[in-house]
Chains A and B, each alone.
Chain A
Amino acid sequence: MDALAEIRGIYFDECDEFTGLLEGYLAAMAEGRATSEDINGAFRAVHSIKGGAGAFGLSALVNFAHRFEACLDALRSGRVSVHAAPIDVLLQAGDVLTNLVQASRDGATLPIDSGLLEALEAFCGGTPKQAVPAEFAIEPEPAPAEEAAPPAPSRRPVTVRITPDADLFRRAIDPRVVFEALAGFGALELTCDTSAIPPLDSLDPLTCHLAWTAVVNTDATPGAIVEAIDCFLADHEFTVLDGSDADHASAPANQGDTPSPQADAVAQPGPAASADAAAVAKPEPAAVTAPGRRAGGGTIRVDLDRIDKLMNLVGEIVITQSMLTERATMLPKREAAVFVDALFSLNRQTRELQDNVMAVRAQPVKVVFQRLPRLVRELERSLGKKAELKLAGEDTEVDKTIVEELADPLIHMIRNAMDHGLESPEDRLAAGKPQEGVIRVSAEHRGSRILISISDDGKGIDRDRLIEKARSRGLIAPDVDLTPEEADNLIFHPGLSTAAKVTDVSGRGVGMDVVRRNVEALGGRITVESSPGRGCKFTLGLPLTLAVLDGMIVRAGAERFVFPLSSIVETMQLDSRSVEPLPGGRSVLRLRGEVAPIIRLRDLLGIRALGNEPNVVIVETDSVPRLAIAVDEIVGQQQVVVKNLESSFRRVEGVSAATILGDGLVALILDVDALPAMTQTSRRAPPMTGMYGAA
């Protein structure tokens, strides 16, 4: 039962994939760009959901999928033209199907709008081409047959006439299989009708010229007997006559009382066959793991947990390897050379191993991209705008987690582009642009990152409005002049939304700042380029995985910390001439005409002081564009394995995770965005005398 529950889980996971695919195919139809491949794909997706639902006795799902499938079948076969069909009905059915899958997973029921059911029926021209098979009506635990059935018939002869088509043998059927199935019901008498056999010279050994009459002495119902053999024989190839109808029973069975030797031989194995079946049904425990299973190509389904374990192990190898690298420096030169060579290979192999394990977790961004066409269409309708969505690089792969986390920011940015970026058709015409705007979404690999860009050919960011808003809120000084890039970047500032009116599409407040925060939480970066009147382009750079990150290792006091490389703007030696003390014990660093607040990591994190922190790491944070963090030493760049700290201790402010360095010791990975807020609270701590702060 556990295994069944597990497969059920797999089924629902698979359903999610199917509904995702379905959405893409339906979108293609709605846009009138559907190929027969799309229609077939949609049909198969629904068909597969139905098939699995049938296997698990999810009758509501089966019934709905069946009707839906009938519509898609009508399109597929050309009975209904895809250009003339009301595709909206299918889109709606797609949504209902998705919800039904969800409901079935939760064991819930979902009422289905009868209007939709009627629309589906009308779609394929009346009733579905075939009634819902009775098999699908069964509950997950079907009641035993005898419960509802009339009293079991008593033992009596039942006659089965078998008149197979001439091609029987071409179907690789040994007629004995059918006889055995019958023998399972009781003593069998068999007669063979050889009258149709032609003269030997015209005999084709592959053509069946035989017919049989079998009389079974049994208490089984005729229905049960039909069921036992109709999987082998077509309906017209056999008849079952209840023995109580003696006329029928005796008529064909002329030699019924004297069964031929072969017939006997066939009838005998009955018990043996069922014993065999029993042996088959009772596997030896070891057999479950299927010894001798061959690598058949194809795919297997693996628990994410297992892959994560594998990833962890790879992470540990990475650590061990950096441990060895550290040791190598202690070896005498002659030995070191050989050792370092071997390490070099190990390094390469580990990277490769890591890449391969990561590849297992990788998914194409298509999974998310597929949801966008529909979104754009809905927005077109609600905003009264026209847009063409162009997707590129859908097959670019990235870690499953990133794909999942990508959906929200992407959807948000599409909304933004549609709502704020693209102009209304009239405005576009007035601006000498085609009525229909273009939104491009593309993905590509760039080094160890994935770049995703979302661009539109709309009006671009309204810089003046942004600047005006920022000034009125005191975010920038009245006399400060911003470069166009700086002005555009204000769009990421919390609370600055460019839309003059609040729409239900973008709403108020939930703006690009949230998108940026989400992206940065994944270790990514987002940038914007805008050209007034011509459009706007956002570019997301994301790591390919969350399991490892490229870090900059620094030392503060005796401790080492890791900065995500993605948050670092630059590192430099601190020149005391650029430090400007402020009243109140703070100081700032002059940085090419800008100022960056300086904080000392040791103050922030309560670390015992050792050195005088001659280096600074300049980072970019959510709230402070440039923050200078003073540290004792910049140790170097290194890829580190991310280890969750929350699950092994608790959330620690200013720390996003931990990692293990080459010497086996733990180092904390800093949560750069949390650091500015910590400076506020740490001010209460007794100030330490250092060279930058005023004591």
Chain B
Amino acid sequence: MRILAIDDTRTLRELLCRTLRAASHDVVEAENGEEGLTRFSEDRPDVVITDLNMPVLDGIEFTRAVRARPDGGEVPIIILTTESASEIKAEGRRAGATAWMVKPFDPQRLLDMLGQLRK
């Protein structure tokens, strides 16, 4: 599966990418939502995992932008964040986020979720 991983924190991006690559996923990285959109068009990921709070374009704005695209409706977007407040979660869903995972993320849970989304 090709996964687009967006996080402005290198450490977390690294952690995410390693987890995914170790599970044989093809990972494309981006540092913020804007770069994420470019990667989204160029690399056509099967799934997107994005941080919420980022400079330039945050996770929710990114999700909204993807969903507004003609080709952006089908791709699951997982928001990975420290935020667990339900109003922000709800905003994420309104923007079109498929799933919401609260950090610290459990690598196995993430991989399980990807396994489910793959169907």
Contact = CB atoms under 8 A, between A and B. Distances in A.
The reply to whether A and B meet directly (CB within 8 Å) is yes
Interface of A: 3, 7, 10-11, 14, 40-41, 44, 47-48, 50-52, 54-57, 130, 133, 135-136, 138, 165, 167, 170-174, 176-177, 180-181, 206, 230-232, 234-235, 269, 273, 276-277, 280-281, 283-284, 287-290, 292-294, 296-299, 301
Interface of B: 8-12, 14-15, 18, 21-24, 26-31, 35, 38-39, 43, 51, 53-55, 67, 73-78, 81-82, 84-86, 89-90, 93-94, 96-105, 108, 111-119
A139 B115 CA distance: 28
Contacts of A276: 115, 118
A292 B30 CA distance: 17
B24 A273 contact: no
Contacts of B102: 133, 135
A90 B102 CA distance: 27
B14 to A, nearest CB: 5
A231 B80 CA distance: 10
The residue in B8, B22, B99, B104 that gathers the most chain A C-beta atoms within 10 A of its C-beta is B104
29 contacts: A10-B14, A14-B10, A52-B9, A55-B15, A57-B104, A130-B85, A167-B93, A167-B94, A171-B77, A172-B96, A173-B99, A176-B119, A181-B116, A231-B78, A235-B86, A273-B115, A273-B116, A277-B115, A280-B111, A280-B114, A281-B23, A281-B108, A283-B22, A287-B24, A293-B27, A297-B39, A298-B30, A299-B31, A301-B10
A171 B24 contact: no
The residue in A51, A165, A273, A293 that gathers the most chain B C-beta atoms within 10 A of its C-beta is A51
Given A130-B85, A165-B93, A277 B9 contact: no
A301 B99 CA distance: 29
Given A52-B9, A167-B94, A180 B24 contact: no
Nearest to A235: B86
Contacts, number: 159
A301 B113 CA distance: 28
A232 B99 contact: yes
The 4 closest A-B pairs by CB, nearest first: A11-B11, A290-B21, A277-B115, A287-B24
A133 B18 CA distance: 26
A130 B10 CA distance: 26
Nearest to A62: B82
Contacts of A54: 82, 103-104
Contact of B76 (A11, A172, A287, A301): A172
A296 B43 contact: yes
Contact of B29 (A7, A55, A167, A296): A296
Contacts of B101: 231
Nearest to B79: A231
The residue in B67, B73, B112 that gathers the most chain A C-beta atoms within 10 A of its C-beta is B112
Nearest to A58: B104
The residue in B35, B78, B98 that gathers the most chain A C-beta atoms within 10 A of its C-beta is B98
Given A231-B113, A290-B21, A172 B10 contact: no
A57 B81 CA distance: 15
A287 B22 contact: yes
Nearest to A3: B18
Contacts of A230: 100
Contacts of A298: 29-31, 35
Contacts of B10: 10, 14, 299, 301
Contact of B55 (A14, A40, A135, A173): A40
A1 to B, nearest CB: 12
Contacts of B30: 296, 298
Contacts of B15: 7, 55
Contacts of A10: 10-11, 14
Contacts of B22: 283, 287-288
Contacts of B35: 297-298
A48 B31 contact: no
B44 to A, nearest CB: 11
Contacts of B98: 171-173, 232
A172 B73 contact: yes
Contact of A287 (B21, B29, B55, B113): B21
A451 to B, nearest CB: 32
Contacts of A44: 8, 53-55
